[in-house]
Structure 1
Amino acid sequence: MFRISHFMHELAQAEATGAYPAPKRRGGEGGALRPHTGPVVIWNLIRRCNLTCKHCYAFSADHDYPGELSTQQVFDVMDDLHAFKVPALILSGGEPLLRPDIFEVAERAKQLKFYVGLSTNGTLIDEPLARRIHDHGFDYVGISLDGIGATHDKFRRLEGAFDRSLAAVRHLQKLGTKVGLRFTMTELNAFDLPKLLQLMKDEGVDKFYFSHLNYAGRGNIHRGKDARHLATRQALDLLYETAWADAQAGGNHEYVTGNNDADGVYLLQWVEQRLPRWADDVRQRLTAWGGNSSGVNIANIDNVGDVHPDTMWWHYSLGNVKARPFSDIWHDTSDPLMAGLKARPRPVTGRCGACQYFAICGGNTRVRAQQVTGDAWAEDPGCYLTDEEIGVESSDERVETTAFSSKRRVIELVPTDS
Structure 2
Amino acid sequence: MFRITQYLRLLARAAREGDFPPPATPRGPAGDDRPAARPGPVVIWNLIRRCNLTCQHCYALSADHDYAGELRTDEVFTVMDDLRAFRVPVLILSGGEPLLRPDLFPIAERAVALGFYTGLSTNGTLIDAPVAARIAATGFDYVGISLDGLRATHDRFRRLDGAFDRSLAATRHLRARGVKVGLRYTLTASNAEDFPALLDLMRDEGAQKFYFSHLNYAGRGNIHRGKDARFAATRQALDLLFDRAWDAARRGLDEEYVSGNNDADGPWLLHWLQRREPTLYARHGAALRQRLQAWGGNASGDLVANIDNLGEVHPDTMWWHHALGNVRQRPFSAIWSDTSDPLMAGLKQHPRPVGGRCAACAHLAICGGNTRVRAQQISGDAWAEDPGCYLDDTEIGLDGSNPRTVLTTPFRSRRTVPVVVEAGAGA
What corresponds to 2:407 in structure 1? 400
* Equivalent residue letter for 2:407: E
* Equivalent residue letter for 2:328: K
What corresponds to 2:112 in structure 1? 110
1:166-204 CA distances to partner (integer Å, 9 max, x unpaired)?
Answer: 000000000010000000010010111100000001001
What corresponds to 1:333 in structure 2? 339
Alignment map for 1:366-385 (pairs within 5 Å):
366-385=372-391
What corresponds to 1:145 in structure 2? 147
C-alpha contact 2:22 2:287 (8 A) present in aligned 1:
no
Other structure's SS at 2:271 match: helix
Percent sequence identity over matched residues?
Answer: 68
What corresponds to 2:32 in structure 1? none
What corresponds to 2:252 in structure 1? 250
Deviation at 1:22, TM superposition (A): 4.3
Deviation at 1:78, TM superposition (A): 0.3
**Residue 208 of structure 1 is aligned with which of 200, 203, 210?**
210
Deviation at 1:34, TM superposition (A): 6.7
Alignment CA distance shift 1:26-1:180 (3 Å): farther
The two structures, once aligned, show a CA RMSD in angstroms of 1.5
- Distance (Å, rounded) in 1 between the aligned partners of 2:371 and 2:213: 12
What corresponds to 2:241 in structure 1? 239
Deviation at 1:415, TM superposition (A): 1.9
1:2 to 2:2 alignment: yes
What corresponds to 2:392 in structure 1? 386
1:78-114 CA distances to partner (integer Å, 9 max, x unpaired)?
Answer: 0000110100100000000000000010011111011
C-alpha contact 1:142 1:182 (8 A) present in aligned 2:
yes
Other structure's SS at 1:180 match: strand
1:342-367 CA distances to partner (integer Å, 9 max, x unpaired)?
Answer: 01111001111110110110000000
- Distance (Å, rounded) in 2 between the aligned partners of 1:94 and 1:226: 22
What corresponds to 1:303 in structure 2? 309
What corresponds to 1:360 in structure 2? 366
1:44-101 CA distances to partner (integer Å, 9 max, x unpaired)?
Answer: 0000000000000000000000110000000000000011010010000000000000
Alignment map for 1:313-328 (pairs within 5 Å):
313-328=319-334
What corresponds to 1:69 in structure 2? 71
- Distance (Å, rounded) in 1 between the aligned partners of 2:343 and 2:329: 20
C-alpha contact 1:148 1:196 (8 A) present in aligned 2:
yes
Alignment CA distance shift 1:106-1:147 (3 Å): same
C-alpha contact 2:150 2:197 (8 A) present in aligned 1:
yes
- Distance (Å, rounded) in 2 between the aligned partners of 1:52 and 1:25: 45
1:109-151 CA distances to partner (integer Å, 9 max, x unpaired)?
Answer: 1110110000000000000000000100000000000000010
- Distance (Å, rounded) in 1 between the aligned partners of 2:39 and 2:416: 34
C-alpha contact 2:22 2:290 (8 A) present in aligned 1:
no
- Distance (Å, rounded) in 1 between the aligned partners of 2:214 and 2:36: 27
1:43 to 2:45 alignment: yes
* Equivalent residue letter for 2:409: T
* Equivalent residue letter for 1:16: R
C-alpha contact 1:25 1:34 (8 A) present in aligned 2:
no
- Distance (Å, rounded) in 2 between the aligned partners of 1:145 and 1:24: 35
Tell me how many residue pairs correspond in the alignment. 412
Deviates more, 1:160-169 or 1:271-280: 271-280
What corresponds to 1:30 in structure 2? none
Alignment CA distance shift 1:250-1:25 (3 Å): farther
- Distance (Å, rounded) in 2 between the aligned partners of 1:266 and 1:345: 20
Deviation at 1:23, TM superposition (A): 3.7
Other structure's SS at 2:144 match: strand
Deviation at 1:309, TM superposition (A): 0.5
Other structure's SS at 1:313 match: coil
What corresponds to 1:156 in structure 2? 158
C-alpha contact 2:57 2:224 (8 A) present in aligned 1:
yes
Other structure's SS at 1:279 match: helix
Other structure's SS at 1:67 match: coil
- Distance (Å, rounded) in 1 between the aligned partners of 2:266 and 2:38: 25
Deviation at 1:396, TM superposition (A): 3.7
- Distance (Å, rounded) in 1 between the aligned partners of 2:176 and 2:355: 50
**Residue 222 of structure 1 is aligned with which of 221, 224, 238?**
224
- Distance (Å, rounded) in 2 between the aligned partners of 1:373 and 1:399: 7
Deviation at 1:25, TM superposition (A): 7.6
* Equivalent residue letter for 2:87: K
What corresponds to 1:262 in structure 2? 264
**Residue 61 of structure 2 is aligned with which of 53, 59, 62?**
59
Structure 2 segments unaligned to the other structure (5+ residues): 28-34
1:232-255 CA distances to partner (integer Å, 9 max, x unpaired)?
Answer: 000000011100011111112100
- Distance (Å, rounded) in 1 between the aligned partners of 2:25 and 2:192: 34
Other structure's SS at 2:322 match: coil
Deviation at 1:410, TM superposition (A): 1.3
Deviation at 1:26, TM superposition (A): 9.6
- Distance (Å, rounded) in 2 between the aligned partners of 1:25 and 1:257: 25
- Distance (Å, rounded) in 2 between the aligned partners of 1:164 and 1:389: 42
TM-score computed with the length of structure 1 as normaliser:
0.96
* Equivalent residue letter for 1:218: R
* Equivalent residue letter for 1:401: T
What corresponds to 2:90 in structure 1? 88
C-alpha contact 2:357 2:404 (8 A) present in aligned 1:
no
1:221-272 CA distances to partner (integer Å, 9 max, x unpaired)?
Answer: 0000000000000000001110001111111210000000000000011222
TM-score computed with the length of structure 2 as normaliser:
0.94
Other structure's SS at 2:318 match: helix
Other structure's SS at 1:52 match: coil
Structure 1 segments unaligned to the other structure (5+ residues): 28-32
Deviation at 1:37, TM superposition (A): 1.0
